[in-house]
Structure 1
Amino acid sequence: MIGNDVIDLALARVESNWQRKGCLDKLFTTKEQNLIFSAKNPTLMVWILWSRKEAVYKIIRQEDGLRGFYPLKIENTDYDSGIVCFNKKEYYTKTVQKGDMLHTIALRNLQFNKISELNTSIEIHKKDEIPFIITNGKNHFISKSHHGRFEKILLLNLS
């Protein structure tokens, strides 16, 4: 399973106010808030941590079918290595910033070398709101993310 999240940082600056009262308490654990407040760039740290949570959430949807809003149950437990946990399961994340684009990929294993980025014009199907593509008669789950000017569609090649 694969998850990814992309954030248009320029749009996020305009549309979101993470500093409003109570916002961080709804989205981030105490440990994560400490990372935010000790960061050189707290705003960027908010979006890195949030992007990791969103990418992991997409895997959780694929694995367990769980829907809902439970960001405090998805925790960035090891910031430097990109480990995020949910229900005692570890997920591995990699986050890259290029200009105003922040992109996170999440996996259950460390097979980041087996990821392919797909063309955004590819035909995407959905089953229970989970995206997949069909190649050679087989269904392959993918992860699609878009925000503002950016869109990423990823496939984990395990064959």
Structure 2
Amino acid sequence: MVGNDIVDLNEAQHASNWQRERFLNKIFTELEQRYIKDAINPFRMVWRLWSIKEASYKLYTQIYPSRFYNPMGFECTIENNSETARFGDFQCFVETMETSNYIISEARLNKQKLSSEIVKFKTTCQKEQSEELKTRLLNYVGSAYQLKKNEIEIPTLSNGKEQFNVSLTHHGSYGAFVID
């Protein structure tokens, strides 16, 4: 099982006011706010932590199917470039990659290298981006597979015999998919 999340840094720069104290207090724990305060680049740390939380949430909902909003419940720990996230008794390992354009995170139950396929969109229409991402995923795996979603919209790939967990993400000009 795997969860991923991508943040377009240009979009985040223009669309959010992350420096508001109320924003930070609603999303980030005291530990995470210390990471932000102590970071060389607090903006990038905010979105790194957000990406870790979102990827972890997607993994959690694959294991415990439900939909809820509780970013404070997922606490991120970063030690020696090793990242984990906890939600109650749940813990996962996260791998994050930062570029000048985006930050992407993948959450798994075991440590693994990041394997998301990144997509740079030509359009800003979210519906078109979503369709392009799904099309790129299906082209990647071949025509024998279908993308299905369960009752709470968690996607899987299936060819009738095998089923694979998949995570999709898009934000701003970037998207990504990963298969487990």
TM-score by length of 2: 0.80
Once the two structures are superposed, what CA deviation does each residue of 1:101-136 show, in whole Å capped at 9, x if it has no partner? Answer: 1111110112337x4649832152211200111136
In structure 2, the partner of 1:147 is 171
Question: Normalized per residue, which structure has more helix?
Answer: 2
**Number of corresponding residues:** 155
Distance 2:23 2:95 in 1: 25
Q: Structure 2 vs 1, CA of residues 112 and 4 (structure 1 numbering), >3 Å: closer, same or farther?
A: same
Q: Which residue of 2 aligns with 1:124?
A: 147
Q: Distance in 2 between matches of 1:100 and 1:109?
A: 27
C-alpha distance in 1, partners of 2:85/2:2?
A: 14
CA distance in 2, matches of 1:127, 1:69: 19
Partner AA of 2:63 in structure 1: E
- CA gap of 1:118–1:126, structure 2 versus 1, over 3 A, is farther
CA change 1:47–1:145 in 2 (3 A) is: same
Residue 127 of structure 1 aligns with an amino acid whose one-letter code is N
Check whether the contact 2:116–2:176 (CA below 8 A) recurs between aligned residues.
Answer: no
Q: Is the 8 A contact 1:75 1:85 kept in 2?
A: yes
Within 5 A, what are the aligned runs for 1:9-158?
9-79=9-79, 80-112=81-113, 115=115, 117=117, 120=133, 121=135, 122=138, 123-128=146-151, 129-135=153-159, 137-156=161-180
Q: CA RMSD in A?
A: 1.9
Flag the structure with higher strand content: 1
Shift of 1:139: 2.0
Contact 1:117 1:155 in 2 (8 A): no
User: Residue type of the partner of 1:13?
Assistant: Q
Q: Which runs of no fewer than 5 residues in structure 2 stay unpaired?
A: 120-132, 139-145
Q: CA deviation at 1:137?
A: 2.6
Q: Which moved more, 1:44-53 or 1:139-148?
A: 139-148
* 5+ residue gaps, structure 1: none
- Aligned partners of 2:47, 2:95: CA distance in 1, in Å? 13
Post-superposition CA distance 1:28-76 (Å, at most 9, x none):
0000000100101000000000100000000111111131111111001
